[in-house]
Amino acid sequence: MSNQGVQRIGERVGDKASEAAQRMGDPAQKAKDQTKGMMQRMRDRAPLTRNQTLGLVTLLMGGTVLLVGGGLALGGTAITLLLASPLLILFSPILIPLGIVLFLATSAFFATAATFVTFLSVVLWLYRYFRGRHPAGSEQLEAARHSLMETANQVQDRAREYGSHVTGYLQKSQVAAPGA
């Protein structure tokens, strides 16, 4: 019999003995079983792989760098604001109107740029549409155009019907009252 076979038999006998001791209430055996269970649970949990360890280290280092950098930035901003506040108060009669003018000029620039881009997009879309290239949304435009044309034809047909009814009514009223 090999060494492993003997070891397995010993483990089985030990397990049977520990079960019997548990039934009898041996406190030393209970503590030994709890320790054995804890060791088994530790063995069951595989240690971190190399990639997981490197990932954890990278995460911790990156978090530390960001935390320290954020603290330095916050501290630097507070110190700069403390030192610059007398200058800001002194030059506020100049800086506030200048800030308003810069804000309005920047807003006007971006509004003009957005309007130009929109105009250019519309012109390009219309060019593609009339050249027959079917830009995005042209199917919806065609469907709406057909729907409007059908509605206009229906309104025209109803107007003709109504007009013929009115004409017929007027002719009947003239025949009924020739002197009128």
Mean pLDDT estimate for the chain:
81
Q: What is the enclosing helix (H) or strand (E) of 153?
A: helix 138-176
User: Residue 79 has what pLDDT?
Assistant: 96
Tokens of 50: 């190399």
| Contact predicate 22/30, CB 8 Å | yes
Q: How far is CA 55 from CA 44, 45, 64, 81, in A?
A: 22, 19, 14, 38
User: Residue 27 has what pLDDT?
Assistant: 67
pLDDT in tens, 42-78: 666 767 788 888 888 999 999 999 999 999 999 999 9
Residue bearing tokens 């509605």: 151
User: Residue 103 has what pLDDT?
Assistant: 97
Q: How confident is the model at residue 154 (pLDDT cuts 50, 70, 90)?
A: very high
pLDDT in tens, 31-44: 666 666 666 666 66
Mean pLDDT of the 14-41 span: 63
Instruction: Flag whether pLDDT at 10 surpasses 60.
Output: no
Q: How far is CA 165 from CA 57, 162, 172, in A?
A: 91, 5, 10
Instruction: Flag whether pLDDT at 120 surpasses 60.
Output: yes
Q: Compare 10 and 95 and report the one with higher pLDDT.
A: 95
Mean pLDDT of the 139-153 span: 89
Mean pLDDT of the 89-94 span: 90
Round to whole Å and give the CA distance between 79 and 72: 10
Q: Compute how many other C-beta atoms are within 10 angstroms of the C-beta atom of residue 129.
A: 15
Round to whole Å and give the CA distance between 17 and 12: 9
Tokens of 147: 């729907």
What's this model's pTM, rounded to 2 decimal places?
A: 0.38
Q: Compare 4 and 134 and report the one with higher pLDDT.
A: 134
User: Residue 38 has what pLDDT?
Assistant: 66
Question: Cα Rg for the chain, rounded, in angstroms?
Answer: 45
Q: Compare 83 and 145 and report the one with higher pLDDT.
A: 83
Residue bearing tokens 């911790």: 60
Mean pLDDT of the 149-169 span: 84
